Amino acid sequence: MKFETILVKQVGNLATITINRPTKLNALNKATISELHDAFKNLNKDETVKVIIITGSGEKAFVAGADIAEFSDFSEKEGGKLAAKGQKKLFDYIENLSKPVIAAVNGFALGGGLELAMACHFRVASDNAKMGLPEVSLGVIPGYGGTQRLPQLIGKGRANEMIMTAGMIDASKALSYGLVNYLVPQEELIPLCEKLAGKISNNSSTAISNAIKAVNAGFKTNTDGYKEEIKAFGDCFGTPHFIEGSTAFLEKRKADFK
């Protein structure tokens, strides 16, 4: 598949998506959101892919937000539609993907950029990364899940402060908040993400997709996460991966999950 605003490459069972609008600091426009949706959809279907990394091109930005130029003249109705469509097509889509997605935050992750990183299953940052939700400085609020996922990740008080001040935090504060799992020099960012992806890909992909469902269930209103966990746990039994994993343990050998 040919894309205009993103690059997709695959090495072994690891796919990397790079948002490629460096002159606009990788801001998310309509085309980028649509291409990202298509890329994630394809990679999710592709049985040779086990883990996905998403990053931004250049050394300055992961994603500097939604493309402000595209929505500056929107009406209330158009604004609501923009958020609803974006959440469904990209942000909720990534969070509920059956394969793990790691955000390699290589610079500014602002507004929709931080929301994109937060929709991923976890985040790793380079030392130059800066994160924030500056929307209230533009007269709007985060609309791609930021008011929900930021409090989930760092707590309500810290999230409220970030949202209300519209300020940026640096990578070490993001690490201390638990917003990112690691902080490394920029040149070590992708190698570390690849190392983590390698560890993940040694495990059962079917079990991992069940774990994603169970973890996400705990954050959905009207869903009992414990019940979902019981179902997802039960679903693992009888799968070829469970048979291989448990047999390998009993035979004192390393499991080989195809």
Residues that bind ligand COA (CB under 6 A): 24-25, 27, 64-69, 108, 110-112, 134-135, 138
Annotated catalytic residue within 35, 95, 115, 228: 115
- Report in angstroms how near the CB of residue 59 gets to ligand COA at its nearest: 12
- Give the span between the Cα atoms of 256 and 258, in whole angstroms: 6
Residue placing its CB nearer to ligand COA in the complex, 8 or 83: 83
- Report in angstroms how near the CB of residue 145 gets to ligand COA at its nearest: 13
Question: In the chain, what's the furthest Cα-to-Cα distance?
Answer: 65
* Cα 232 to Cα 119, 129, 178, 216, 239, distances in angstroms: 21, 36, 27, 12, 12
Annotated catalytic residue within 35, 95, 135, 228: 135
Residue placing its CB nearer to ligand COA in the complex, 68 or 255: 68
Annotation says 135 is catalytic:
yes
- Report in angstroms how near the CB of residue 144 gets to ligand COA at its nearest: 9
Annotation says 47 is catalytic:
no
Burial of 231 (0-12, 13-18, 19+ CB in 10 A): middle
Residue placing its CB nearer to ligand COA in the complex, 61 or 180: 61
- Report in angstroms how near the CB of residue 195 gets to ligand COA at its nearest: 29
What is the four-CA torsion angle of 170, 176, 182, 186, rounded to 10 degrees?
20
Catalytic residues: 115, 135
